[in-house]
Amino acid sequence: MKTIFSKGADFVLKRLEENKEEAYIVGGSVRDLLMERTPNDFDVTTSCSYQRLREIFSDCRVVTLGEKYGTLGILYGDELIETTTYRADGSYLDGRHPENVIFTRYLEEDLKRRDFTINAMAMDYRKNLVDIFGGQEDLKNKLIKTVGVPEERFSEDKLRILRAIRFATNLGFEVETQTLVGIKKYAKDINLVSKERIREEFNKVLLSTCPSKGLNLMLKTGLLGEIIPEIIPTVGYDQMSPYHHKDLFKHILCVLDGVDKKLHLRLASLFHDIGKVETLSIDEKEVGHFYGHDSLGSQMAEVILKRLKYDNKTISKVKILIEKHMQAQPQIGDKGLKRLINKVGPDLIFDLFDLMLADLRCTRDDRDPSFLLNRKERVRELLANKTVVDKSGLVITGRDLLEIGYKEGKALGDFLDYLTDLVLEDESLNTKDILLKIAKEKLTEEI
């Protein structure tokens, strides 16, 4: 295996060794190198004290990241190398952060405070590996295993519960048996962690190659019910439909795996059918229907995403995709497509088709998606031909309407939407003379 450090990591390690200090690359960068992956960044752990670090790198640009924790950021070009003195953590009284740290001269003390064995290895400048807790063996066996007793690691920092799921999902590993037991024991405490940190770890699960693996692990350990209890009723839920051969939760996971790695699209996939449980009606043939589940699902997703502190832009995208994901009827022409683009927006329309395609492919195996593929291509043609699909394509603007007597405000925007609807029906109306004539007549009526 060819192990290559970044130039910044090489520089920091070499200078510390020249100054008679121990220094090692540590954590995720070592794990990635052993897996022959390119690390995103390199962290250094060292026997050197914080003040001594300041002296040794006094000729460098540095960033003060946390003297309390012994961490100094050393800049090498545009690369930031976080360099931290060996330390042992004090008591974790809030279930997330140590109350204090104890600096030490021993690498082993620093490594044994870390979360998982695969993240508790170190490598020096000469590429010598220090692996006290069997991380290399666990990498070989594709196992996520805590350093030491799982209950101790999880009671210290509750976020490690979700991090274990995230690593298993992203790396395609299994969770070691006792570690899994520990996760189940402490799953109920995950909400002691800030919603922002939960959200960030959950996003990494969703954006993995196979997010269903993470969701199944979260379900198995009880984490899913703690973070998103609204999705639990979908587990094992019979959709009572000739079009569905999976229970509702399995269908959702299939769709989730089937769309691109875009956060808003993965979130929409996760919640697109969450409203079905509350909207079931059964006809005289004992077939289930879910009228309005798209609208209810959009509302439920908004509540969940706000609780998890997602930003408004993401929430808006997710809501639109869920609200419109049932627009997959085979009978729809150009006018209908233009209206759909107008409602969804050109930026989201192809994500909507990807969601609809995944939704269809995760139903009965013999269903033909060609009509959706053809429709997606037709939308591409309409957009390429500069067809009017929203008010930005009108030849007149709000300024033109103000000049003939319209007032600023919501009514102005509403009237532009009205003109857009007319042009969607008949694009020949999209001339300045015709639209101004319609606007003047409407204004006269209101007066």
The residue with greater pLDDT, 8 or 375, is: 8
Give the model's pLDDT for residue 193.
94
For the segment(s) 142-227, the CATH number from 1.10.110.30, 2.60.120.260, 3.40.50.300, 3.30.360.10 is 1.10.110.30
Asked whether 239 and 276 are in contact (CB, 8 A), the reply is yes
Q: Per residue in 415-425, pLDDT tens?
A: 888 888 887 77
Query: Using CB atoms within 10 A of its CB, is residue 333 exposed (0-12), middle (13-18) or buried (19+)?
Result: exposed
Pick from 294, 341, 344: which is nearest to 322 by CA? Answer: 294
Would you say 303 and 278 are in contact if contact means Cβ atoms under 8 Å apart?
no
Q: What integer best gives the mean pLDDT of the chain?
A: 90
Dmax (CA) of the chain: 88
Q: How many Å apart are CA 211 and CA 389, to the nearest integer? A: 34
Task: Give every CB contact of residue 284 below 8 A, 6+ residues apart in sequence.
Answer: none
Domain residue limits, the chain:
7-136, 142-227, 241-387, 391-446
Structure token digits, residue 52? 């001594």
Give the helix/strand (H/E) hosting 247. none
Quick: pLDDT tens for 135-169.
Answer: 999 999 999 999 999 999 999 999 999 999 999 99
Confidence of residue 199 (pLDDT cuts 50, 70, 90): very high
Which pLDDT value is given to residue 368?
Answer: 86
Question: What is the average per-residue pLDDT within 19-32?
Answer: 96
Residues 218-248 have pLDDT tens digits of 999 999 999 999 999 999 999 888 878 889 9
Contact 266, 259 (CB under 8 A): yes
- Would you say 236 and 216 are in contact if contact means Cβ atoms under 8 Å apart? no
Q: What tokens were used for 96?
A: 């997330």
Helix (H) or strand (E) holding 444: helix 432-446
Cα–Cα distance, 300 to 323 (Å, whole number)? 11
Q: What architecture (CATH level 2) is domain 7-136?
A: 2-Layer Sandwich (3.30)
Question: With 70 as the cut, is the pLDDT of residue 442 above it?
Answer: yes
Residue 96: predicted pLDDT:
56
HSE-CB of 178 using CA atoms within 13 angstroms: 10
Residue 305 binned pLDDT confidence (cut-offs 50, 70, 90): very high
The structure tokens 């990635």 sit at 32
Q: How many angstroms separate the CA atoms of 11 and 229, rounded?
A: 49
Q: Report which of 194, 264, 187, 181 is spatially closest to residue 232, judged by C-alpha positions.
A: 187
| pLDDT(95) > 60 | no
For the chain, percent of residues with pLDDT exceeding 70? 94
pLDDT at res. 365: 81
Compare 395 and 227 and report the one with higher pLDDT. 227
Is residue 303 exposed (0-12), middle (13-18) or buried (19+ Cβ within 10 Å)?
Answer: exposed
Structure tokens, 416: 């532009």
CB-based contacts of 125: which residues, under 8 Å, 6+ apart?
10, 13, 14, 17, 23
Report pLDDT for 93. 60
d(Cα 310, Cα 313) in Å, to the nearest integer? 8
The rounded percent of the chain whose pLDDT value lies above 90 is 66
pLDDT at 2: 60
- What is the reported pLDDT for 233? 97
**Rounded Cα distance, 325 and 311, in Å:** 22
- Across the range 344-369, mean pLDDT stands at 91
pTM for the full predicted model: 0.85
Q: What CATH architecture does domain 241-387 belong to?
A: Orthogonal Bundle (1.10)
At 135 the pLDDT is: 97
> How many angstroms separate the Cα of 11 from the Cα of each of 86, 125, 275?
19, 9, 55
Q: What is the pLDDT of residue 445?
A: 66
Q: In this predicted structure, what is the pLDDT of residue 299? A: 98
Q: Is the pLDDT of residue 312 over 60?
A: yes
pLDDT interval class at 446 (50, 70, 90)? low
What pLDDT sits at residue 92?
A: 61
Q: Residue 176 has which token pair?
A: 């070691």
Q: Which two tokens stand for residue 256?
A: 């989730």
For CA atoms 140, 146, 147, 150, the dihedral sign is negative
Average pLDDT on 94-120 reads 85
Q: Are 130 and 107 in contact (CB under 8 A)?
A: yes
pLDDT for 1 equals 54
DSSP strand pairing (101-103 vs 87-89): antiparallel
pLDDT at site 8: 96
DSSP 238-271: ----TT--S-HHHHHHHHHHHS-S-HHHHHHHHH
pLDDT at 391 over 80: no
| pLDDT value at 275 more than 60 | yes
CA atoms of 352 and 357, how far apart (whole Å): 9
